[in-house]
Amino acid sequence: MIEIKDLSLSAGDFSLSHLNFRIESGQYAVLMGKTGRGKTTILESICGLRRVESGTITIYGKNVTNWLPADRDVGYVPQDLALFPTFTVRGHLEFALRLRNWSKPSIADRSQQLAEQLGIRHLLDRKITGLSGGESQRVALGRALSFYPTVLLLDEPLSALDSDTRSEMQDLLKSITKLNEVTTLHITHNQEEAAALADCSFELRDGKVERLTGMSAGKCQ
């Protein structure tokens, strides 16, 4: 469960104030809004990369507003993916697990399992240079899901993909988030994407996050 209360933040030349929304455990929420309105800023504040001015961020009952990003257990897939240039695909999947001192066999099991779920088993020993857009996207997703995060944040994960890969990834996102039982917040400006994926959807409009009613309003509050 993610709960945002009275959250105010500023970045560059815009600021957002008194944001309120809540996503229930296991839900797939989509946040829509035009580009440059601060959607990414909201995600960055949830994962701890951006300091908030006031308000609280609660994840599964814990007020994490002032926690370091490393302590929040939030999986983050940024729009630019930000893969690690010196790592192999396997290195990406194992990175968070090694930081958590998992045993070698359990790290190997988990990376195999993820690689199968994501369909990237044949790429495990490849470097990330030369991966296609869809493959890179899967690696970034696997890296974010590897440590069983409580929350997954996706920043326009499908925007750079062609339409075939996009629908493939859409199905994958739906199945893998269910499989890993993770509460997801997905940012997009694409209506179709939202309709296909969302248990519930929100829109960032005029500096406020509003719950969308109608077909994809779901169980959000």
Q: Which of 38, 48, 55, 142 binds another protein (CB under 8 A)?
A: 48
Report which residue type is found at 41: T
Distance in angstroms (rounded) separating the CA atoms of residues 52 and 45: 6
133 binds another protein (CB under 8 A): no
Q: Could you give the 3-state DSSP secondary structure of residue 212? A: coil
The CA-atom distances, in angstroms, between 22 and each of 74, 156, 220 are: 16, 20, 7
**Residue 105 engages another protein in binding (rule: CB under 8 A):** no
Pick the piece of the chain touching another protein (CB under 8 A) from 24-32, 92-100, 129-137, 163-171: 92-100
Burial letters 172-191, b for 16+ CB under 10 A, else e: bbeebbeebebbbbbbbbee
Selected from 80, 171, 181, 192, the binder of another protein by CB under 8 A is 80
Of the listed pieces 43-51, 119-127, 130-138, 174-182, which binds another protein according to CB under 8 A?
43-51
| Binds another protein by CB under 8 A, chosen from 147, 190, 196, 210 | 147
Question: Is residue 85 a contact point for another protein (CB under 8 A)?
Answer: yes
> Does 100 participate in binding another protein (rule CB under 8 A)?
yes
CB 197 within 8 A of CB 178: no
Q: Does 51 interact with another protein (rule: CB under 8 A)?
A: no
Strand 151-155 versus strand 28-32 pairing type = unpaired
Among the listed residues 148, 191, 214, the one whose alpha carbon sits nearest the alpha carbon of residue 31: 191
Assess 131 for contact with another protein (CB under 8 A).
no
Interface with another protein includes 75 (CB under 8 A)? yes
